[in-house]
DNA sequence: TCGGGCGATTGCGCATTTTCAATGCGCCCG
DNA sequence: CGGGCGCATTGAAAATGCGCAATCGCCCGA
């Protein structure tokens, strides 16, 4: 993905500064950032890293959507998490462990590449960053748990409904982009066809309204009924 | 569970010391442990904590088995993780967050209760403990991912087989205790009846051999065939 | 504009799982 | 020793999801 280099980040004045890993850094910390942080802009399909690969950087997602998936023994893939703006992926490199997942871009995505060495150095001196790291891990764990309880439990209809609701959770407009049925199936542990059938049925029932190409407005209250029953 | 108090721990000479959170502590650190660490012995069914409860301690499991589960909107439970010897539960209290799960003892379990304050203090001074904490979190995350890919994916037969194999993974004897079918279903996202039918069928096919009450010897190679196809 | 190509959708038969209910089994308590 | 209780097992019908293949729609490049 290195071809997608988009310049060096100005962390001090980062628009996402307050919600990002470096939130707690002070002027003195930035002094220590000798090498600049690189930014990239990635297109759908781009691969950030592979499972098993020994990496030396983590990534902050500035905008966009990245899927983390694992290969199953039968060759298919199971998507284990979706990562979005302000999330960090590849935390495991901080422990010198190889990446756990394949990380693939689903929508145009902007990222910052954080070299492990830099994070480690800052972490040693700045307890705020350290706490922030713990919090990141905890958030990831909570996400994983929700993935189990919400997206891997219940009937196909329930799962699809929950996934949709999750996609608009913090969109006041109740609108979202949908991804391919194959990915949807891989997230929910159902087949592509079942995913397709369910979405199609929701459309027919006007639970989903296509506002523009691949953008959908959701009937939140009724989807909630399906999700929770 | 406080009734089950079983004395104060001698952390310095803990039999599990090398594999436990305090592995990296030095003599000076132990000096700082003013208050002793309490130990408890818990019987099946005992509840360590509830989801949503604001706690102030984490627990190291010395021996036994604890399930972490979450309540679903429909009132049923989904078990999200199994924790065993040397695992830590309740890490989230370190971030002042309420417990994420219900923690219930499944087999006779010995635990040490670690007050958050103590861990925090030690952590501030001892970088090894700090790294150890990160590693714990990472381990939990990896477990959660495996729970998704192995125990929440595929047919009921596959899931049961994978669960069984997981139970004996580090038992050289390929022998294990089984839990109730209801719990099994809650782990795998299937109904109690399906769990029962599947286990019963495995027994008939001699993939499971009951050596003593509720102890089973597994036909690992054949179960593996079922698990991976 | 035409021919592919790709992904979504759909039909259909089959297998699996759920659901609800009945039955069986072992164990504890009186 | 005889319920009663909790849990496992089983049956049977209905619901759900899967697998495979055909079709459709849309966009893109020749």
Could you read off the pLDDT of B53-93 as tens digits, one per residue? 999 999 999 999 999 999 998 889 999 999 999 999 999 99
Name the closest residue (CA) to the C1' of nucleotide C8. Answer: A196
Position A112 scores a pLDDT of: 94
Facing A78 at nearest CB: one of B134, B153, B228: B153
Task: Kindly state the tokens that stand for B188.
Answer: 């795998």
Rounded average pLDDT over A109-137: 90
A78 contact B CB<8A: yes
Facing A153 at nearest CB: one of B78, B101, B140: B78
Position A14 scores a pLDDT of: 84
pLDDT per residue as tens digits for the range B175-221: 999 999 999 999 999 999 999 999 999 999 999 999 988 999 999 99
Alpha helices in B39-191 (DSSP H): 116-125, 127-151, 156-167, 181-188
Mutate which of B138, B140, B147, B189 to disrupt the A interface (most A C-beta within 10 Å)? B138
Please, which positions of strand D sit below 7 A from a protein CB?
Answer: 7-12, 16-21, 27
Does residue B182 contact residue B188 with C-beta atoms inside 8 Å? no
Report the candidate in B80, B30, B39 with the shortest Cα–Cα distance to residue B57. B39
Task: Kindly state the tokens that stand for A225.
Answer: 């009924």
Does residue A4 contact residue A41 with C-beta atoms inside 8 Å? yes
Rounded average pLDDT over B22-39: 84
pLDDT per residue as tens digits for the range A177-218: 999 999 999 999 999 999 999 999 999 999 999 998 899 999
B156 touches strand C (CB under 7 A): yes
Q: What's the pTM? A: 0.94
B70–A153: do the CB atoms touch at under 8 Å? no
The closest nt to A183, taking CA to C1', is: C7
More confident residue, A107 or B6: A107
Q: Residue B62: in which H helix or E strand, if any?
A: strand B57-71
B155 contact A CB<8A: no
A88 CA to C25 C1' in angstroms comes to: 54
Residue B210 makes CB contacts below 8 A (sequence gap 6+) with B203, B216, B217
């Amino acid at each position: 993905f290195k071809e997608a280099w988009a310049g060096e980040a100005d962390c001090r004045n980062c628009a996402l500064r307050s919600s990002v890993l470096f939130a707690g850094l002070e002027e003195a910390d930035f002094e220590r950032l000798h090498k600049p942080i690189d930014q990239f802009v990635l297109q759908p399909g781009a691969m950030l890293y592979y499972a098993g690969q020994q990496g030396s950087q983590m990534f902050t997602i500035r905008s966009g959507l990245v899927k983390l998936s694992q290969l199953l023994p039968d060759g298919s893939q199971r998507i284990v998490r979706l990562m979005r703006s302000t999330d960090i992926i590849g935390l495991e490199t901080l422990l010198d462990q190889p990446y756990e997942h394949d990380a693939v871009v689903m929508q145009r995505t902007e990222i910052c590449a954080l070299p492990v060495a830099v994070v480690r150095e800052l972490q040693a001196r700045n307890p705020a960053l350290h706490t922030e790291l713990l919090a990141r891990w905890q958030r990831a764990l909570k996400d994983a748990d929700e993935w189990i309880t919400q997206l891997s439990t219940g009937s196909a209809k329930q799962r699809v409904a929950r996934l949709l609701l999750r996609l608009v959770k913090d969109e006041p407009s109740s609108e979202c982009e949908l991804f391919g049925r194959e990915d949807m199936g891989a997230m929910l542990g159902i087949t592509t066809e079942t995913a397709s059938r369910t979405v199609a049925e929701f459309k027919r029932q006007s639970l989903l309204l296509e506002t523009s190409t691949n953008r959908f407005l959701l009937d939140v209250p009724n989807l909630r009924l399906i999700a929770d029953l």
